[in-house]
Structure 1
Amino acid sequence: MGGTYVTHHFGYVLGELQRYKMDRDLIVSHQEGYENNYYTLNVEGAPARNVSHEEAGQITSSAWDLFVDIDGNSCRNICPLPHSQLDNIMVSRADVEAIDKISCKERIDQIKHLLTAEQLGTLSAVIMLVTGGKLENSSLWECIRTHALLIHDSANLADLWTTYKLREGQSAFARRIFDDAVDFGLEYAFKTPVTAIADEIDSTEGRVKVTTANNGIFRSHRVISTIPLNILKTVQFSPPLSPKRQEAINLGHINFMTKIHAVVEGSGLASWNGMCSPGYIAQGYGDGVTAQGSAHIVGFGGDERENFTPEHEPEKVIAAFQALHPMNVEKTVFHNWCTDPWANGGPAWWAPEYMSKYQDELQKRHGAILFASGDWAHGWRASIDGAIEQGALCAIEALRDLRLTDVSHDHQPKL
């Protein structure tokens, strides 16, 4: 329902997959050879038609490449080191900040005279699907960073983003990490919402106090918060967070995407992809065949909260899938992250200027409280890889703190 795809280009994920011997146990999402082996292209301003997957890819890539090519070198000049976007040795911070002010809408306005109606419609739809927001409130820099992570080549998008899955699924991966942690002494409490986190420097019971909704109290020497960006404002911090961090939290991110799985009659659409934009579900693609011989379709939409709440409007869900391509939907399965009180949105995507204003601040510690979330990762932001990145950085910082404050520990070097 959430994270799905993996790749050996996700360094932190790959390390964990190797640890649990899951790195080679992969399956491929898209499968050729079924009846409807084509791409349905239906975008505003151009007549609908079925094209080959190769032609659809060329239309999308040509428009995307022009869109992100802000420096004439496929972003290699402005974003040579995507895991170090600010203050790297190659690019001045001022140059990055200038581009970070540009919205996707403003960039499209700069280049739309170079695009066909089909390219323009496809590009606009892809951006809204990737960002989960609107063209006006989505950051161009986030697209540039993404392109740089794709090794500065849109030809790598499918391989890195939408091809490889774990045979046992992401839940099995998460379970192995969790079980490993329990083996090493993890204590845990589920269904225990946190309402307040206080750094009580002079406390003798444990410096940080975590208060839960049922007035439970947990104390520790350090706290690593993994609370998502759009949920942080529901937690009271003491002492108060910095004004800049609080401003970032109040703004939050702009990704309010829709993601719905459908099982449809027959296996033909297992080889199909398609786009219908505008639409509540603007893109769908075949993702294998069930044991019963039905095609599995995954559908994505942008920010449609004003007019569409899928769990309350099943008839709109069915109509949206059928607008993509004629199909008999047998059932749908999904989780609405936008109405989930512990997420309040999809994977984080930022508005213009957000990265240059707030990324450094969001990554900073707050006394004995450290903040680890993929929502503000250096590299693969809003992904499992980014979450592991930030978790690892905060974990080692906390461990070093505890070693330095443990006066009973013998720190003398030993051979």
Structure 2
Amino acid sequence: MDRKIGIGILGLGVVGSGIIHIIKENKEMLYKKIGSNLSIERVLVQDIEKDRNVTLPKKLLTTNPDDVLKNPDIDIVIEVIGGTDDAYIFIEEALNNRKHVVTANKDLIALYGSELHDLAEQQGCDLFYEASVGGGIPVLRGLTDGLVSDEIQEVMGIINGTTNYILTKMDEEGVPFEEALQDAQKLGFAEADPTADIKGLDAARKMAILARLAFHMNVALDDIETRGITNISLTDLEYGKQLGLTMKLIGMAKTHNDTVEVSVQPTFIANVHPLSAVKNEYNAVYVKGKAVGETMFYGPGAGSLPTATAIMADVIHVAKNIQLGITGKSGPIIERSARLSPPHLRTSSFYIRLHVHDRVGSFAHISQLFQDMDMSFKRIVQTPMKKQQTAEIILVTHQTSLESFTNAMNKLQQMDVVKSIESYYQIEGETV
């Protein structure tokens, strides 16, 4: 007789409702894929009487976590309540009760992923979290299964739909940051408190997960250099268009001689690079492997059904492992803590916007400084600002180390001819 696999769900918000919708609507198809029926046993909610956009018998709803976490009929617990405190307690309890766990909780996995994986392995349980990074994009499974035989060299992506929507709006319609943010909030792409998105914190948590899986290093949030989009100006976006560049908030992880650099920062992407064409609330992750070369995962980064689809992919994976008797053996192998790459190993091209005093010889002094540091320019744009008796200069460097660039910036700030350094950004991809 076919085995029934019991499902318990923690949370019945937008994503939880999407999970129930998929299980109910695709019951026959899921049976064909798994060979067992998925049975929703109990669902933890805050208010049983609340109106919801999904229909469930009231007897399945509970306000007591133990009805899910200690229920002998439940094999897999799906956590979609968010946050870290309660979620950690619930997932730890579920694993200690030998229940497999699927979660979309990026904050929790970024902070406690290694610890929870160790517990899952001890208990012979699976712990999966595909939906924690790219919503409906199967990027984690791509790294751990599809590219498992390859040596990953670089992971770079647009992994926050809110900021990508804002930057698209600013770039294509010329609206200032605050207006674009308000529009994103009206459409539901941004929270009432958008701090985690616009400061780059949400993307940093996702990069911790991606880097950990790609490089088998325990990358901590403190290891990730993080810079948000709040200071991006329309002036830089306009110059970017002239130079064939598009601004994106990019999460980056690269390896250099057994070290790793991980960052989240606004970055100019060359228009020939596939990431430059990813617009609005969409996400994409570009992966470079030693054998496979360049690949890219693209799709919706959030939403009820896309996220629920990624969660259900994990549920199906766990269900198959249960039937094969191989649960608790799919966790990533984390070899060691991350060793961060020193600045002299980190290379990139850079965009710099300067205001200089508009007098004879100003640019010659700047040019000499870069020449003395063995740095050269790929593009130069100079615009007089007569009312201020200054000139605006845009410099695009050739590839150079972060160490050399930082030293050059420090020396620029000390030059009498330089009135101000208005902005600077890394450039990824080959510029024309």
Global fold match (TM > 0.5)? no
Q: Greater strand percent: which structure?
A: 2
- TM-score (normalizing by structure 2): 0.23
Looking at both structures, which has the greater relative contact order when contacts are Cα pairs under 8 Å and sequence separation is at least 6?
1
- TM-score (normalizing by structure 1): 0.24
Kindly name which structure, 1 or 2, has the bigger radius of gyration based on alpha carbons. 2
